[in-house]
A and B are shown apart, each in its own frame.
Chain A
């Protein structure tokens, strides 16, 4: 009797210990989901820009600042004053606090005035709000407008569209590194799916994996030094983390199912991916082992949806956006991590969400059109349409 009582108590204690780790979100009474803090508006005054191209530079900076969140452009009691000068496309910009303290003073000397204005505006936004600006960020996506799927880049306004790949049999599944200087993608140029890495500045590319079977779904780690991807050379598809400097790879999933679309937590220590073990794709979280001997723990994340793919952590790591299959078709969902309510951001065929660098917007595709959706206002706009069928967007920097 004593033994039986002991076993029951042990079972009770161990189940509570496991429950504490893996309770579904609706059972976690103790964890209150914090309401998102309302962003405070910073009052900013944009002063005159001197020099020959000063007028054009001021207009370009003004346009970028007007699109930014968290700033209020005003001349009435501003908290920050922006001034500058521009000659021949170069821009020297300054940000001064109301107290007179100089916060930013930098010269931008890239070949184009718009590029310099965007870089200055992003630095202004980062200095004032602490969140990255979007003017220099890029969205990478796949389009079939040439007849085969190829990788393209554009800015968040849907302008400056650049075709990155020209492979005869197509290139898919792209991912930008954190500073938008390199793209990793799956190429069919050898007739088989291999993962390649392309330096956008220098234009040279190298093969990351050319293993038997298939390789796809590459995602850069937050430090840009590693890739998470799916490879199947073991005899079944598994998620691997490969180190770009040493070309070593470690398996972080343990499945005989269908793993896909890995994505990193901003701390670089966890990866979320979709895995179908026979009952539809669900989301799993795995830890990235820090040494080759360490074990990776794997946890299934219960979202409440049966068909979840393409997950991506928000830049602050507090939320996950993913695609789920609802009765009305595919939908983009945002859910708090590790617990919190799930919000349908857009239904009716919207898919493959990706967070803006400041975490305030999502890009996704719906019926082949690329949209940007502002999460706090709920407003969305098509930034790129009539550009073939667009798929697999990823927004970086």
Chain B
């Protein structure tokens, strides 16, 4: 075998192993999350469950386990039914995320907001107009009106 080819074949595995921990280039890396996000509209007119205790949930609370912020099949079915019923009266919804205690405080706020945004994204993709949706993440700074604390509650406004 030509020495140059031998050198090439011997160094290639080392280079591949050495680079295996490097992040893939953006174009090659898998993108599980949608790259299109919908910016939030104005919050004016939306009422917070902190100030009004009589806000009614529009559907059963969506429970999340652990620290995941991906929607499960059950979540998707609930949201698709909600999106279908939204077409009748076109109400406005406040999507409020909550987290269990025990998580670091700032992380819990961001995680609950991220879950609320995932719910909002799915509702928009199934026909709910973005201007009718607003999100908030409470972390574990307040407790929801739900059986568990690691939930997203959709309040009808």
A residues with CB within 8 A of B: 1, 4-5, 8, 11-12, 15, 18-19, 22, 24, 142, 149, 169-170, 172-173, 186, 188, 190-193, 211-214, 216-217, 230, 232-237, 256-261, 274, 276, 278, 280-281, 300, 309-310, 323, 330, 351-352, 391-392
A213 B136 Cβ-Cβ under 8 A: yes
A193 B137 Cβ-Cβ under 8 A: yes
Given contacts A149-B141, A213-B113, A214-B113, contact A258 B107 (CB under 8 A): yes
B11 A12 Cβ-Cβ under 8 A: yes
Contacts of A352 in B (CB 8 A): 104-105
B134 A276 Cβ-Cβ under 8 A: no
Given contacts A191-B48, A310-B104, contact A258 B114 (CB under 8 A): yes
Chain A residue with Cβ nearest B40 = A212
A43 to chain B, nearest CB (A): 44
B residues with CB within 8 A of A: 4-5, 8, 11-12, 15, 18-19, 21-23, 32-33, 35, 37-43, 47-52, 67, 69-70, 104-107, 109-111, 113-114, 117, 120-121, 134-139, 141-142
A232 B117 Cβ-Cβ under 8 A: yes
B50 A212 Cβ-Cβ under 8 A: no
Q: List 14 A-B contacts (CB under 8 A).
A: A1-B5, A12-B15, A15-B15, A15-B18, A142-B105, A170-B142, A188-B50, A212-B40, A212-B43, A230-B106, A236-B114, A237-B117, A274-B107, A280-B67
Contacts of B48 in A (CB 8 A): 190-192
Residue from A24, A169, A190, A233 in contact with B39 in the complex, judged by beta carbons closer than 8 Å: A233
B4 A5 Cβ-Cβ under 8 A: yes
A234 B39 Cβ-Cβ under 8 A: yes
| Cα–Cα, bound, A274→B110 (Å) | 10
| Cα–Cα, bound, A237→B12 (Å) | 40
B15 A169 Cβ-Cβ under 8 A: no
Q: Looking at chain A's contact residues, is the secondary structure mostly helix, strand, loop, or mixed?
A: mixed
Residue from A15, A256, A257 whose CB has the most chain B CB atoms within 10 Å: A256
| Cα–Cα, bound, A212→B11 (Å) | 53
Residue from B23, B32, B39, B40 in contact with A278 in the complex, judged by beta carbons closer than 8 Å: B32
| Cα–Cα, bound, A212→B137 (Å) | 11
Contacts of B18 in A (CB 8 A): 15, 19
B8 to chain A, nearest CB (A): 6
| Cα–Cα, bound, A18→B24 (Å) | 12
Chain A residue with Cβ nearest B52 = A191
Contacts of B141 in A (CB 8 A): 149, 170, 172, 188
A217 B106 Cβ-Cβ under 8 A: yes
Contacts of A5 in B (CB 8 A): 4, 8
B67 A172 Cβ-Cβ under 8 A: no
Chain A residue with Cβ nearest B138 = A193
B8 A4 Cβ-Cβ under 8 A: yes
